[in-house]
Structure 1
Amino acid sequence: MAAVADSAPSGLPPLSREDQTLLLFAGLMEGGQEDEETVSDLGKLTKLLTEDIELAKASEPSITKIIDGDCVDTIVCYLDMRQPDIVRAHATLCTSAYLKAAGEDGNRKLADFFYDRVRRGTYDDYIVAFCVAATIFPIVPDLTSELFLSGGFLASLGPLMRRKWKSRKVETACLDMLNAACMNAHCREGVQKYCVEWLEEIVDQDPEDAVQAMRASEPDVNVREGSISMRRHSLQVQNLAAVVLAKLRVQPVQTPSDGSAPSRIQPATTSIEDLSKMFTKMLLENPEHSTQSSIEGLAYASLQSKVKEDLSRNKTFLEGLVKTLETATPKSPLTYGALSILCNLTQHQPVQSEEEKRMNQLKAYANAAGKLPTDPLSDHDHVNERCKRVFAAGVTPVLVTHSKNGSIASLTLIISIIYSLSMTPSLRGQLAQQGAVRLLIAAWTALPEAEPRTRRVAAQALARILISTNPSLVFGGTRPIPQSAAIRPLASIILPDPSAETRDLLPTFETLMALTNLASTDDDTRSSIVRTAWTDIEDQLLSSNSRVTTAAVELICNIVQNSAEAFALFGDGKQQAQNRLRVLVALADAEDIATRSAAGGALASLTGHEAVVRAIAAQERGAGLVLGLCGEDNEDLRHRGAFVVYNMVAAEGEAGRLAREKLRAAGGVAVLTECAKKSRRSEVVEITVQALKGLLEQT
């Protein structure tokens, strides 16, 4: 029947959309179909409903008018947990398309279905109702929340779950529904109010004790694993209940806004640490039955610092988690959950500016706290040690593999984990060896521009790794990555994030240092950096932060080792080049010694060009600033200064003559004489003497 849903017998007019819809429903209602046929029919119906949304905008009659309650019942019953996963997946898409096309009428029919099934009260009806609610929560959260919080529904779940005879499928479906509901704040409040006591009863029950007690009281009862006649909750059910409790613990219900106490006396509760231990035990001892729920529970529990610390110290758990991630299907909930745990374990506290620290201190005093609450387990040292343990578990190669086929959500977590690991300098070289550089470059390239935050994190992690590693080792090997591939990601974070509330210059500083390292290699890389990022690099010379200025000058010092780039940027005689040179000479007199050193190194290379010598000599204070380096107490600075002076006095023609004249007028003979006396290293003395001889040469 499904085969003719979108066509008519030869010679007859094509079937209308309404007829196609009715034929598809007839096939779905008939039953007895193979799963492939059901999936095909659901897919065709989804296509019709999706098209209907657009056609309705053009005033075409909607096919939803012929979809009655029985039809809705047919679709959503395929959401039953007892259906194959592929059928449930297609039924989910079909339900979503129907609700979008039908609007309020669809919501009403779905509500009627839910209330009717709950009212019937059989195990089968409960299973279907709960499965439907769990599935549609993310599709129509407002409607599902209304159904979930309708009068008496939550309160009725306790007696159902406490029944003498257990239905494992009913319990599982119910807990799946609660699990989905806990993503909504109002629903979470309802679960906390009506369900937390029996959830804890499920978690705390010892299954073996329950069976032994049952056999002692009723020895003739035939108790079979999986039987509805069992009075105990299964390990899977216990684990699901623990996941729901974990969500309640991690996202506690807020105190009423009027300041009044909660209306009910709160019972003793299972702590988040206890739940974490339960998840860990189940994951290690019963992975074939509890992996998904245990991973989900730990993804929430590991938001707490005590849990993070305990999990990171459990070597067996970490290795098992990495193994689980290694075998998990890409883009699956299991993959996302495992990555979430690793992300939580390695995440550092955000760095606060001094202004942010002061504001938080003021808020604390305003709240009569007196001081900022601190969590010692979240400080840098503790997180640093957790990162080392996670890395030692062999996580990097697994992250590299998953990054190739993962969703954007998974890739975001992977980048965050690598970013956190890269904050530990001792790990950077090993991260590079294990493929993190290739991962980050590929991720930055693959991520859409609509994900600017994640791209910046990837670029900053890349910068950190490249600061501490030898580029020839990172970009060599049997499958080399071109160095130029790293330049665009690095260049993208030279300027501070325009969308950030506070101006963070750390990414700027780190990327300048990484580019400096790359620029130490070859002329092609230096030219690529200039083509890609020169304007932004130049802007950092005048940064308000001295460390950023230093990093920018050090990068320029390496760039101008390329003679062609040095001349093009500083020696072509144009006004822009002269302005750049004037800034660089001025920085040779900067307050920061590292900046003076970098500027001196850059000038030592640039003064090999006659045009640069002429331009410095033409500056009013040029000769004096250069000689200032020769008078430094630091011998490395004197060495740089003497080299610059030697280049200037040794220049040919008019440029050399003008330079010698200006340097003598600025007291160069006395400065160089004193420089030679103060210096102890032979290479410094030698270049100073050569510069002095050149300066004394008559012109």
Structure 2
Amino acid sequence: MASVSTTAPNAHTRAMHNDLGREDQTLLLFAHLMEGGKEDDETVESLGKLTKLLNDDVEATKKGEKSITAVIDSDCVDTILCYLDMRQTDVVRGHAALCTSAYLKAAGEDGSKKLSAFFLDRIQRGTYDDYIVAFCVAATIFPIVPDLTSELFLSEGFLPSLGPLMRRKWKSRKVETACLEMLNAACMHSHCREAVQKYCIDWLEEIVDQDTEQVVESMYTTDPDTATQEGSVSMRRHSIHVQNLAAVVLTKLRLKAVQPDQAPPDLSDPSQPRIQPATTSVEDLSKKFTQMLIKDPEHSSQSSVEGLAYASIRAKVKEDLAGDPQFLKSLVKTLESAPPRSPLMYGALSIFLNLTQYRPALTDEQKRISQLKAYADAVGKLQPDPLNDNEHVSARCKRVFEAGLTPVLVTISKTSSVASLTLIISILNSLSMTPSMRGPLAQQGAVRLLIGAWTNLPEGDPKNMTVRRTAAQALARILISTNPMLVFGGSTPINTAIRPLVHILLPDQTVDTRDLLPTFESLMALTNLAAVDDDTRRTIVRVAWKDIEELLLYNNPRITTAAVELVCNIVQSPEQAEALFADTSKPQAQTRLKILVALADAEDAATRSAAGGALAALTGYESVVKAIAERERGPEIILGLCEDDNEDLRHRGVFVLLNMVACEGQAGKVAREKFLSKNAVEIVKTVVTRSKRREIVELAVQSLKLMLGKE
């Protein structure tokens, strides 16, 4: 190793630190780290500076500079890796992990060799301290360099050696904990998971199934002198924490045996084996985790939550968890008290996501393919689990909501990571599927949360595109079913919801399958907002009119209907009615009016109704009356509404008719003449005799008088 001073840098040295070359800075930092006995904040500061030097080194070497890793020998690497020891504080371990990652990236193959040598050397030494450090290092670097770590993990003889270590008469809880944390991380790698299944499953089962009372009783029976051996009882049985960790590892192994969405085997089926292997099932493990979280959340929440985050992928486990109100309340409390951006918070959110997640909606083509697959799978008895159908998921969502989750989601969203916020949005999206929960969701702050999430997630990041669309869709669903006047105000003006809704107006062009549900729900929500006031209508038109106009002629009747309903509410604003339709001197206004009149003759009754409502507002303008009257089929279409079997449509038809025949000037005269030439008198008389609603009869009678000149 290069010679370094072991004297702590004084204030003058620290002041001159930045004036030194990169290699000298590196050596000084290692000297500081090797001393030990420092306060955590000093250690963290040194690790942070070293991490920065290593990160900068990657760019420096690209420019032809010499890498600082040349002065980092095995002893230096040992120093960094030993700070990953579980006996260090979490903040030190976290900075050491960042530093290790930066070093491995900067040092390349040489760094991998030094890491391998460190791990193998510690394992060969075989002391408890060496095992602890080696296992902690392996657990930390698995996600950083999975290929290298899996190679070490799968080295000959390593996994088989763990069984005797874990079965030793005298237990070291730190060794056991470090070992199980390593196995837990390793299970994320498919080959490592298979190896753990092969070599470790038996002793993992033994740890999970250990009855501590039986262990103690057996010890006194076989060794009466136990009572005189201080500490021997606790040292000869696995701790609860170790049992919990073993259960988490076992859960990950068990989940790979059967696909999560498959129904359990039918034991009445003669093709199934009559004797099932006596193993701890995922369902058994989930019950263990559930009880742990309820009875001892302070000490077992991390392992319980991690285990359930995996176990709750199974449909049967989902049903059991959602059917336990005490567990749901405990999990809500755990989430509420979890540190921001912590694995505990993410794990608890993952459980709630699993409980509330619906199967993805399928297109007709996808449904057909799914049916074919189901038919093919029938031979192998691999049918989708019915506990994951919409009815069961909806019931689970209701129970989760009733446990008081929403206010907690609102609170933690303010300090959540992007990953946790993504889960929060997905959970709210599922809860919003149930119409009866939308109002309470809005009252508990979900609207403000979703608007804030959509606004704050970086727009340019491709990873956030789907999340932002999901947030906007959940917002749309809630706003469809709630009174905007009760939702908005104060720090959340109504206009803040418009841009997220407009974001999903047009189908997502980046995916192969075109999903029109977000478009439909966005239109419905905007329609609800457009009923509030002219300022809101003005904002909608300014931000979204181009897209709304395109959707008026969309090749889907439900989309067209929703778009016309939105236009109907928009034109209740005189300003927007005049600008968009009434100024018929502009070709665009003429075209829009023609489209609206044509839609009043659409096959779909809801579309005709919406178009009729819009024309009822627009025919208050003389220019609109003239344009409709002079159109070849304009009067016929209006009379068609008057003849409709639906009384609501007849009401709209005679309202438009009265507006047109009551219009003053040349436009009114032309309208009356056109209607008379289309047998309007007989049609309106029929309306009078057919209609039961007084307001329709009164409007029809007034129209007759005007057309016959008796007014």
TM-score (norm 1): 0.94
1:245-275 CA distance string (max 9 Å, x none): 1111223399xxxxxxxxxx99632111000
TM-aligned CA distance change 1:626 to 1:37, over 3 Å: same
Q: Deviations over 1:429-474 (max 9, x none)?
A: 1111111111111111011122011111111111111111111111
Residues 1:25 and 2:30 are matched in the alignment: yes
Partners of 2:373 and 2:62 lie apart in 1 by 52
Secondary structure at 2:235's aligned position in 1?
coil
Q: How does 1:433-512 map to 2 (within 5 A)?
A: 433-449=443-459, 450=461, 451-476=464-489, 479-512=490-523
Give the whole-Å Cα distance in 2 for the aligned partners of 1:410 and 1:178.
25
Residue 36 of structure 1 deviates from its aligned partner by 2.8
The runs of at least 4 consecutive aligned structure 1 residues that moved more than 6 Å come to 223-229
1:76 aligns with one of 81, 94, 98? 81
Answer yes or no: is 1:414 the counterpart of 2:424: yes
Distance in 1 between residues matched to 2:430 and 2:162, nearest whole Å: 43
1:315-364 CA-partner distances (Å, limit 9, x unpaired)? 11111111111111110111101111111111111122222110111233
1-structure distance, mates of 2:134, 2:470:
43
**Cα distance in 2, alignment partners of residues 13 and 386 from structure 1:** 58
Which region of structure 1 is more displaced relative to structure 2, 367-376 or 527-536?
A: 367-376
Question: 5+ unaligned residues in a row in structure 2: which ranges?
Answer: 1-6, 260-274
SS at the partner of 2:226?
coil
8 Å CA contact 1:361–1:371 kept in 2: the answer is: no
Map 1:418-429 to 2 at 5 A. Answer: 418-429=428-439
Q: Which residue of 2 aligns with 1:260?
A: none
What is the deviation of 1:365? 3.5
Spell out the pairing of 1:103-122 with structure 2 (5 A cutoff).
103-122=108-127
> Is structure 2 residue 53 aligned with structure 1 residue 43?
no
Q: Write the distance in 2 (CA, Å) between the matches of 1:302 and 1:694.
A: 71
Q: Which residue of 1 aligns with 2:271?
A: none
Which residue of structure 1 lines up, in the alignment, with residue 554 of structure 2?
543
* Corresponding residue to 1:179 among 170, 184, 195: 184
Is the 1:6–1:20 Cα contact (8 Å) retained in structure 2? no
Number of positions where the alignment pairs a residue of Structure 1 with one of Structure 2: 686
Q: Deviations over 1:23-68 (max 9, x none)?
A: 2222222323333332222222222212211111111111101111
Distance 1:169 1:536, change over 3 A: same
Alpha-carbon distance in 2 for matches of 1:537, 1:99: 53
Aligned residue in 1 for 2:65: 60
CA contact (8 A) 1:597 1:640 kept: yes
Post-superposition Cα deviations, 1:657-682, rounded to whole Å, max 9, x if no partner, equal 22222222222222112112211211
Q: 1:653 aligns with which of 637, 662, 665?
A: 665
* 1:525 alignment partner in structure 2: 536
Give the Å deviation of 1:119.
1.1
- State the identity %: 69
Q: 1:628: which partner in 2?
A: 640
Match of 2:138 among 130, 133, 139: 133
Separation (CA, whole Å) in 2 of partners of 1:696 and 1:87: 93
Structure 2 distance, partners of 1:222, 1:465, is 65
| Conserved? CA contact 2:255–2:311, under 8 Å | yes
- Alignment partner of 1:674 is 2:679: no
Give the letter aligned to residue 19 of structure 1: D
- Structure 2 counterpart of 1:16, from 7, 21, 40: 21
Report how far residue 385 of structure 1 moved. Answer: 1.3
Distance across 2 between alignment mates of 1:438 and 1:482: 10
What is the CA distance between 1:6 and its match in structure 2?
Answer: 9.6
Distance 1:69 1:13, change over 3 A: closer
1:341 to 342, 351, 355: 351
Identify the range of structure 1 (303-312 vs 229-238) with the bigger mean alpha-carbon deviation: 229-238
Residue 498 of structure 1: CA displacement? Answer: 1.4
Q: Is the 8 A contact 2:687 2:700 kept in 1?
A: yes
CA offsets 1:405-433 (integer angstroms, 9 cap, x no match): 10001101111111111111111111111
8 Å CA contact retained: 1:114, 1:129 = yes
State the match for 1:258 in structure 2: none
Measured in 1, the distance between the counterparts of 2:477 and 2:704 equals 43
Task: Tell me the distance in 1 between the aligned counterparts of 2:533 and 2:230.
Answer: 70
CA distance in 1, matches of 2:668, 2:408: 61
Q: Which 10-residue stretch deviates more, 577-586 or 22-31?
A: 22-31
Q: Amino acid of the residue matched to residue 470 of structure 2?
A: V
Please state how far the C-alpha of 1:183 moved relative to its aligned partner.
1.0
Q: 2:157 aligns with which of 152, 155, 172?
A: 152
Q: In the aligned structure 1, how far is the partner of 2:181 from the partner of 2:699?
A: 79
Structure 1: which amino acid aligns with 2:338? A
How far residue 232 of structure 1 moved from its aligned partner, in angstroms, is 1.2
1:62-113 deviation per Cα after TM superposition (whole angstroms, max 9, x unaligned): 1101111111111101100011112111211111111111011001100010
The yes-or-no answer on 1:619 pairing with 2:631 is yes
Shift of 1:371: 9.3
| Paired letter, 1:47 | K
Mapping of 1:104-503 within 5 angstroms? Answer: 104-221=109-226, 230-252=235-257, 268-367=278-377, 369=379, 373-449=383-459, 450=461, 451-476=464-489, 479-503=490-514
- C-alpha deviations, 1:287-317, integer Å up to 9, x for none? 2221101110011111111111111111111
CA contact (8 A) 1:168 1:226 kept: no
- Aligned mates of 2:602, 2:15 — CA distance in 1: 88
- 2:696 is the alignment partner of 1:691: no
Contact residue 496 and residue 508 of structure 1 kept, 8 A: yes
Counterpart residue identity of residue 399, structure 1: L
Structure 2 length-normalised TM: 0.93
1:587 aligned partner:
599
1:420 and 1:122 mapped to 2: Cα distance?
51
C-alpha separation in 1, matches of 2:501 and 2:365:
27
The aligned residue for residue 269 of structure 2 is none
Distance 1:614 1:13 in 2: 81
Give deviations 1:539-561, integer Å, cap 9, x for gaps.
22222222221111111111100
| Residue number in structure 1 paired with 2:272 | none
Offset, 1:283? 1.2
More displaced stretch, 20-29 vs 277-286? 20-29
Higher mean C-alpha displacement, 72-81 vs 346-355:
346-355
RMSD: 2.2
CA distance in 1, matches of 2:508, 2:469: 8
Decide whether aligned partners of structure 1 residues 139 and 5 sit closer, same or farther in structure 2, where only a CA change above 3 A counts: farther
Change (3 A) 1:339 1:475: same
Structure 2 counterpart of 1:89, one-letter code: G
Whether the aligned pair in 1 keeps the contact of 2:77 and 2:115 (CA below 8 Å) is: yes
2:262 aligned residue: none
Judged with a 3 Å threshold, the aligned counterparts in structure 2 of structure 1 residues 292 and 6 are, in CA distance, closer, same or farther, namely: farther
